[in-house]
Amino acid sequence: MLYVEVPGRWVTTDRSGEPAFLPPAVKFLDQVQALAMSAVSRPPSPGYVTTLREALGLTQKELGARIGVHKLTVSRWERGTLRPSADALEKIDKLRREAVRRGVTIAS
């Protein structure tokens, strides 16, 4: 179980009066989830690759350089026109684990 603090400015109420998250909160929670999930256990979605890259604070070029692929390959993964190889998934997951171990700050 994981608890995170969502800034109050990212929360509103819906028509019924129930709390609702604004888009920045949803993006933040998606990034937290991406950092918590392994990319190796199941094929990642294009959105997962994008969200994880953004949570790590990397550009497509920087992510590609760290795992040994071209930035256009990362772009194709994020658009869903290409799936990462098993080797690339292992490298992506290694980056994720190292970032979590170091402590990642997600910009708010």
How much is the pLDDT for 17?
Answer: 93
Model pLDDT, residue 20: 94
Contact 73, 79 (CB under 8 A): no
**What is the rounded distance in angstroms from the CA atom of residue 7 to the CA atom of residue 67?**
33
Which residue, 96, 91, 107, is CA-closest to 53? 96
Q: Which amino acid is at 65?
A: A
Is 34:52 a contact under the CB 8 Å cutoff? yes
In tens digits, the chain (108 residues) has pLDDT values of 778 888 899 999 999 999 999 999 998 888 888 888 887 777 788 998 999 999 898 999 999 999 999 999 999 999 999 999 999 999 999 999 998 888 877 765
Q: What does the alpha-carbon distance between residue 88 and residue 80 come to, in Å, rounded to a whole number? A: 15
- pTM of the full structure: 0.77
The pLDDT, as a whole number, for residue 35 is: 84
Residue 73, pLDDT score:
97
21 by DSSP, 3-state: which? Answer: strand
Q: How far is 95 from 102, CA to CA, in rounded Å?
A: 11
Instruction: List domains and CATH numbers for the chain.
Output: 8-102 (1.10.260.40)
Helix extents (H) in 45-85: 46-55, 60-67, 71-79
